């Protein structure tokens, strides 16, 4: 009986040691170019702190904001290997799964703040959303951060664009929809929401506005372009012949 008890205690002790080793193995590692988030559970603050150091930014964290999150940990089944370019998007998606978003406070200084999306400061995050260009938003279409932009319309007017977007983006929960507005003209649409939602809206408007189809060159422009290409080809041939002649003369 004593031997059995000792065996049970020994197995329990080994299990505890293995759990401690596993916990240590879940430490987020990074160098100058790559950050690795191991499989397993990770506290939100640990994710934020490691990402802030890796991206060389300052992210303000209020314990009350994180405590109000839907979950306090994120669990990964497989490790994530991230470079600087995709780390920001990946971090924003992990935090958004817990209803937390990173709100830019001063982009020039790299200062951000973690805000609970469904908390009392959730509206504040969107009221102070920084303005970004359409090109910058489409360059990071999966980023989950509040943003606002002005989208120029080419063929359709504001009413048509707004009616096309409303059924898809007028969601009830904060952070799941868009705020649509105008700047007083009929050829521009103001979009405010999470950047991923705004990117989807821009792509949709481009489709109904005809911007997703490359414009065909006019006949006169096509002829001019063909003439320029032919002239360049002749210049390349002449240069090739001159170089060959110079090389031949040098050998003699």
User: For the CA atoms of 184, 188, 191, 197, what is the dihedral angle to 10 degrees?
Assistant: 160
**171 band by pLDDT with thresholds 50, 70 and 90:** low
What is the pLDDT of the chain when averaged over all its residues? 80
Q: CA-to-CA distance for 51 and 19, rounded, in angstroms? A: 25
- Residue 86 pLDDT > 80: yes
DSSP-derived letter for residue 37 is E
Question: Read out DSSP for 194-226?
Answer: EHHHHHHHHHHHHHHHTTTSPPPPPHHHHHHHH
Neighbours of 59 (CB within 10 A): 20
Task: Name the more confident of 107 and 199.
Answer: 199
Say if pTM beats, i.e. exceeds, 0.85: no
Query: 234: pLDDT confidence band, cut at 50, 70 and 90?
Result: confident
pLDDT per residue as tens digits for the range 18-29: 444 344 447 999
pLDDT of residue 4 exceeding 70: no
Is 60 exceeded by the pLDDT of residue 10?
A: no
What topology is assigned to 1-128 in CATH?
Answer: Phage tail protein beta-alpha-beta fold (3.55.50)
Q: What's the pLDDT at 240?
A: 73
pLDDT digits (tens, 9 = 90+) for 110-164: 999 999 988 888 888 888 899 999 999 999 999 999 999 999 998 888 888 888 8
pLDDT at position 243 is 76
The pLDDT assigned to 174 comes to 62
pLDDT for the residue numbered 226: 65
Among the residue ranges 10-19, 26-35, 154-163, 209-218, the one predicted with the least confidence is: 10-19
Q: Which letter does DSSP use for residue 78 in this model?
A: S
CA distances from 6 to 10, 19, 20, 151 (A): 6, 20, 21, 71
The answer to whether domain 129-214 has CATH 3.30.1370.120 is: yes
Q: What pLDDT is stored for residue 138 in this prediction?
A: 95
């Amino acid at each position: 009986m004593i031997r059995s008890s000792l065996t049970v205690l020994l197995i329990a002790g080994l299990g505890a040691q293995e759990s401690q080793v596993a916990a240590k193995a879940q430490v987020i590692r990074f160098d100058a170019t790559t950050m690795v988030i191991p499989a397993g559970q990770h506290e939100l603050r640990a994710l934020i702190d490691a990402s802030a150091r890796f991206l060389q930014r300052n992210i303000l964290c209020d314990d009350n904001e994180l405590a109000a999150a839907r979950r306090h940990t994120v669990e990964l089944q497989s490790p994530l290997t991230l470079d600087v370019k995709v780390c920001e998007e990946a971090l924003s998606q992990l935090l958004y799964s817990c209803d937390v978003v990173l709100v830019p406070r001063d982009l020039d200084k790299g200062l951000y703040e973690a805000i609970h999306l469904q908390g009392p400061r959730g509206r504040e995050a969107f009221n102070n959303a920084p303005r970004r260009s359409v090109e910058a938003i489409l360059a990071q279409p999966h980023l989950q951060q509040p943003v606002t932009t002005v989208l120029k319309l080419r063929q359709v007017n504001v009413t048509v664009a707004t009616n096309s977007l409303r059924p898809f983006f007028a969601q009830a929960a904060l952070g799941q929809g868009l705020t649509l507005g105008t700047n007083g003209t009929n050829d521009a649409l103001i979009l405010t929401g999470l950047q991923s939602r705004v990117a989807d809206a821009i792509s949709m408007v481009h489709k109904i506005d005809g911007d997703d189809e490359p414009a065909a060159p006019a006949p006169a422009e096509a002829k001019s372009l063909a003439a320029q290409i032919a002239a360049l080809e002749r210049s390349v041939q002449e240069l090739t012949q001159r170089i060959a002649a110079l090389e031949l003369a040098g050998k003699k």
